[in-house]
């Protein structure tokens, strides 16, 4: 199909769904080959490859043994502990069989849930693979979550088994996990699961509950020579549950299928990521997030790549650590987030020039709006194109992106380019639901069916799946992304912010993203958040919170107000006075979710004197305090 060009490929993927996706399905192994691509009889519930049977672990591991048994599958690098470990496909196969044997011994069966609450270690990936090998369903919970968030996810997933470790590490500090799990289990109303603890030798607390807690290394020893056959499951069998980031409220348990997901990821590695089997691939996300599920674990392994698992921060031991990895492992494709790049941008740019990055072809960034200065800075520093990916936990792979493996289309600053093949998109008027044309702003929607790889439903809550995503407009239901967007004459999309974040200034509707982009053009701005605050006269006014690269330049009342005026002026020139922030506050950090997304709803609540709401996914409480103090200076 590649070679046909982007437009023709996208058109065919919509017009000839059956033909297109059945061809793509041949990228993976099936126990029973599907004869149809789609069962659309129960939309919006789409079933992909309904009569096919396959297994995710087989496709990620076993399938590669004849050709790639001796090739590195997984390279684990920890700048926290200093460890580096490499596993070939054959070694991953052995480790996964041992663990699958252990899980089976603990009573895990097809359809059971296995909750994985682990740091970024190879055993976490083995646990994911062993789970799907048995046809069980994993629910990975980010290792940075505290007991209450974990308990809520235990109650929702009702796991038979929980995989954990004694501790994680962050900035060289040991963060015990097992005690948090004990606390969560005490809070949880679910039946007591079995627990397997990986002892990394980091935490001194070795308290274990007899009959419930088991030691990973001991079980591994017992099951050393196990060979556990893959459980062949129907394509629509759930592979995992994963919760959204909770930026806009209570997280939703996204349920993913098996066959559609494997096919979507396999195709994406060629069409979007232009990555060839055998090459090294480095995704800096966390296995606790969707980007980690798809692009640290499943996509690169299904593709036969060497995937790099990095435990640590981007600037420790120094801000060159990622680029050294690119050099040492000859990485050809890299996937990160704008947040991480903005962290690096505050450091000395010389770090980018110290290593040989000639193997690198692309940097993909996802998760948040990519502002122009960040994009330009990193693209210049690395000497490779930066590709903005727009997607959601719900979709599992990009909705909007350039697809250089199909055609190297020109990219426009501030735009994640076009609809990914398989996605039929519309921009709809928020009030009337009418489909809008070029240049008009509205809500970005996906016309059903959601393509392969996207969520099949909300875990055990079909009702909420429909009421949350498919009930915004009357008439034919469409999936709402809850993001505000526009498309230009050339078909390029621009994400303007979340629908909750649209500001209405005296009848003019502005996306927070548009104003933030303008603020970011100021040379001393590292990061910013703009929220709409209720105003008696104008309805709402924008208020900006700004993190400076060099805070010293805005010290003292005089410099500070001069800086604020410059920021306002930047908005005046880029958007017009209508978007000018009524106030500009300087803070040292912005409140974010643990996945690095701005918690605008909490900032806005504080700015309007309201309660900041659900903070269970907040990364750093001190950042929210700073916002509070900036608003109410003593």
Applying CB under 5 A, the residues found at the interface with Mg ion are 244
Partner from Mg ion, ligand ATP, none binding residue 9, C-beta < 5-8 Å depending on class: none
Provide the mask over 563-582, with x wherever binding to ligand ATP is found by CB under 6 A and - wherever it is not.
Answer: --------------------
**Residue range at the interface with ligand ATP (CB under 6 A); choices 81-89, 121-129, 186-194, 365-373:** 365-373
Nearer to ligand ATP, 371 or 424 (CB): 371
What's the CA dihedral at 541, 492, 404, 596 to 10 degrees? 10
Partner from ligand ATP, Mg ion, none binding residue 390, C-beta < 5-8 Å depending on class: ligand ATP
Nearer to ligand ATP, 262 or 400 (CB): 400
Residues 496-555 that bind ligand ATP (CB under 6 A): 498
Pairing mode of beta strands 161-165, 194-198: parallel
User: Could you check whether the bond before residue 317 is cis, i.e. omega within 30 degrees of 0?
Assistant: yes
Q: Which residue has the tokens 């396959």?
A: 54
Pairing mode of beta strands 72-78, 84-88: antiparallel
| Strands, E assignment, 397-524 | 400-401, 418-419, 425-428, 442-446, 457-458, 479-487, 493-498, 502-505, 508-511
Query: Quick one: which of 495, 529, 544, 587 contacts ligand ATP (CB under 6 A)?
Result: 495
**Residue range at the interface with ligand ATP (CB under 6 A); choices 199-207, 213-221, 245-253, 311-319:** 245-253
Alpha helices in 357-495 (DSSP H): 372-382, 462-469
Nearer to Mg ion, 199 or 500 (CB): 500
Partner from Mg ion, ligand ATP, none binding residue 53, C-beta < 5-8 Å depending on class: none
In our burial notation (b when 16+ CB lie closer than 10 A, e otherwise), range 452-489 reads: bbbbbbbbeeeeebeebbbebbeeebbbbbbbbbbbee
| Residue 155: its H or E element | helix 147-157
- Closest distance between ligand ATP and the C-beta of residue 496, in Å? 9
Pairing mode of beta strands 72-78, 306-311: parallel
- Closest distance between Mg ion and the C-beta of residue 420, in Å? 17
Distance (Å, whole) CA 599 – CA 590:
8
Q: Is 79 in the site for ligand ATP (CB under 6 A)?
A: no
Secondary-structure percent of the chain, ordered helix, strand, coil, rounded to 5 = 35, 25, 40
Nearer to ligand ATP, 220 or 498 (CB): 498
Q: Is 483 in the site for ligand ATP (CB under 6 A)?
A: yes
Provide the mask over 394-433, with x wherever binding to ligand ATP is found by CB under 6 A and - wherever it is not.
Answer: ----------------------x-----------------
- Closest distance between ligand ATP and the C-beta of residue 6, in Å? 18
Nearer to Mg ion, 390 or 492 (CB): 390
Query: Quick one: which of 79, 247, 255, 499 contacts ligand ATP (CB under 6 A)?
Result: 247
In our burial notation (b when 16+ CB lie closer than 10 A, e otherwise), range 518-532 reads: bbbebeebbbbbbbb
Nearer to ligand ATP, 416 or 579 (CB): 416
Q: Is 368 in the site for ligand ATP (CB under 6 A)?
A: yes
| C-beta separation of 280 from 337 below 8 A | no
Distance (Å, whole) CA 211 – CA 333:
45
| C-beta separation of 73 from 300 below 8 A | no
Nearer to Mg ion, 498 or 522 (CB): 498
- Closest distance between ligand ATP and the C-beta of residue 55, in Å? 26
Q: Is 236 in the site for ligand ATP (CB under 6 A)?
A: no
| C-beta separation of 371 from 386 below 8 A | no
Q: Is 286 in the site for ligand ATP (CB under 6 A)?
A: no
Q: Is 602 in the site for ligand ATP (CB under 6 A)?
A: no
- Closest distance between ligand ATP and the C-beta of residue 283, in Å? 15
**Residue range at the interface with ligand ATP (CB under 6 A); choices 189-197, 364-372, 374-382, 434-442:** 364-372
> What are the two backbone dihedrals, phi and then psi, of residue 177, each rounded to the nearest 5 degrees?
-105, -45
Total number of residues that touch ligand ATP (CB under 6 A): 25
Q: Is 366 in the site for ligand ATP (CB under 6 A)?
A: yes
Kindly list the distances between the CA atom of residue 598 and the CA atoms of 204, 345, 527, 531, in Å, as whole numbers in the listed order. Answer: 35, 18, 10, 11
**Residue range at the interface with ligand ATP (CB under 6 A); choices 220-228, 247-255, 294-302, 559-567:** 247-255
Partner from ligand ATP, Mg ion, none binding residue 369, C-beta < 5-8 Å depending on class: ligand ATP
Answer positive or negative: Cα dihedral of 31, 37, 38, 39: negative
Distance (Å, whole) CA 608 – CA 527:
22
Distance (Å, whole) CA 313 – CA 447:
39
Q: Which residues contribute to the site for ligand ATP (CB under 6 A)?
A: 244-249, 251, 366-370, 388-393, 416, 481, 483, 495, 498, 595, 597
């Amino acid at each position: 199909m590649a070679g046909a060009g982007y437009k023709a490929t996208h058109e065919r993927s919509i017009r000839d769904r059956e033909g297109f996706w059945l061809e793509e399905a041949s990228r993976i192994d099936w126990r029973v080959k599907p004869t149809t691509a789609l069962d659309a009889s129960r939309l919006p519930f789409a079933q992909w490859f309904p009569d096919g049977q396959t297994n995710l672990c087989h496709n990620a591991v076993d399938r590669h043994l004849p050709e790639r048994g001796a090739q590195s599958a997984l390279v684990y690098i920890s700048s926290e502990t200093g460890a580096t470990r490499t596993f070939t496909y054959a070694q991953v196969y052995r480790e996964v069989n041992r663990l699958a044997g252990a899980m089976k011994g603990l009573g895990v069966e097809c359809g059971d849930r296995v909750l994985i609450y682990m740091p970024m270690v190879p055993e976490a990936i083995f646990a994911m693979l062993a789970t799907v090998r048995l046809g069980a369903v994993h629910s990975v919970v980010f290792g940075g979550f505290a007991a209450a968030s974990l308990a809520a996810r235990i109650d929702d997933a009702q796991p038979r088994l929980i995989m954990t470790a004694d501790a994680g590490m962050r900035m060289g500090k040991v963060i015990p996990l097992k005690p948090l799990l004990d606390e969560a289990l005490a809070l949880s109303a679910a039946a007591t699961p079995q627990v397997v603890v990986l002892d990394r030798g980091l935490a001194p607390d070795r308290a274990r509950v007899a009959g419930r807690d088991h030691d990973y290394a001991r079980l591994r020893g017992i099951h050393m020579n196990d060979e556990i056959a893959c459980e062949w499951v129907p394509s629509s069998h759930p592979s995992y549950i994963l919760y959204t980031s909770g930026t806009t409220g209570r997280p939703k348990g996204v349920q993913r299928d098996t066959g559609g997901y494997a096919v979507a990821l396999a195709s994406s590695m060629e069409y979007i990521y232009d990555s060839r089997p055998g090459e090294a691939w480095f995704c800096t996300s966390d296995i606790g997030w969707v980007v980690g599920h798809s692009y640290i674990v499943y996509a690169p392994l299904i593709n036969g790549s060497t995937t790099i698992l990095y435990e640590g921060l981007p600037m420790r031991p120094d801000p060159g650590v990622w680029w050294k990895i690119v050099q040492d492992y000859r990485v050809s494709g890299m996937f990160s987030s704008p947040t991480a790049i903005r962290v690096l941008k505050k450091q000395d740019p010389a770090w980018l020039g110290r290593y040989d990055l000639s193997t690198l072809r692309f940097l993909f960034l996802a998760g948040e709006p990519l502002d122009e200065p960040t994009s330009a800075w990193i693209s210049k520093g690395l000497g490779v194109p930066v590709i903005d990916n727009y997607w959601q936990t719900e979709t599992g792979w990009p909705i909007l992106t350039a697809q250089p493996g199909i055609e190297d289309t020109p990219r426009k600053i501030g735009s994640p380019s076009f609809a990914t093949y398989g996605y039929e998109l519309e921009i709809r008027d928020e009030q009337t639901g009418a489909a809008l044309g070029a240049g008009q702003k509205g809500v970005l929607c996906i016309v059903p069916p959601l393509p392969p790889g996207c969520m099949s439903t909300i875990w055990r809550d079909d009702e909420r799946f429909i009421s949350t995503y498919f009930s915004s407009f009357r008439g034919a239901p469409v999936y709402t992304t809850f993001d505000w967007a526009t498309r230009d004459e050339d078909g390029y999309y621009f994400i303007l912010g979340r629908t909750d974040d649209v500001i209405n200034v005296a009848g003019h509707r502005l996306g927070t993203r548009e104003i933030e982009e303008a603020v970011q053009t100021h040379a001393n701005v590292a990061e910013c958040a703009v929220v709409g605050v209720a105003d008696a006269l104008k309805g709402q006014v924008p208020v900006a919170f700004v993190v400076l690269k060099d805070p010293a330049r805005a010290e003292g009342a005089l410099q500070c107000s001069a800086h604020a005026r410059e920021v306002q002026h930047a908005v005046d020139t880029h958007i017009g006075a209508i978007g000018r922030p009524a106030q500009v506050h300087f803070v040292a950090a912005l409140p974010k979710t643990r996945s690095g997304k701005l918690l605008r709803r909490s900032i806005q609540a504080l700015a309007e004197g309201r309660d900041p709401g659900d903070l269970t996914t907040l990364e750093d409480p001190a950042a929210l305090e700073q916002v509070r103090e900036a608003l109410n200076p003593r």
